[in-house]
Amino acid sequence: MTQAPQATPHQAAEPIYVIVFGYPPDKYSVAVEYFKQLGETTDPDPNTEISNCFKIGFKNPVEAVWAVRKNGEIVGGSWMVGVKWAVRYRLIPFLNRNGTNSLVLLRILAK
């Protein structure tokens, strides 16, 4: 029997995904690196039907929040990037103050 991955106090057991969009199609690699430098991520998953859109997961929920806060930022002085949550609700395990694991509902409000 395989065990589920254990979350550390600052990591979710499963990555928390965001969608990055709006960058010029020729700036894909720049956009990927811009978000990968925020923390430990999954490999980007480009959308095969939309030319300027990819999904990337963050292993630390705080880093995922930082990524979403990049929505509307100007990159390279000449183009803007959009970011949104891939899912609106997520249960993530956290280590509480007593040292025991608990589940926290991360509710993402749509704008």
* Best CA proximity match to 41, nearest among 32, 53, 51: 32
* Best CA proximity match to 85, nearest among 108, 58, 66: 108
Domains with residue ranges and CATH for the chain: 16-107 (3.30.70.330)
**What pTM did the predictor assign?**
0.72
Q: Residue 96 has which token pair?
A: 């509480």
For the chain, what is the radius of gyration of the CA atoms?
15
Q: How far is 48 from 53, CA to CA, in rounded Å?
A: 9
- Per residue in 15-51, pLDDT (tens digit) is 999 999 999 999 999 999 999 999 999 999 999 888 8
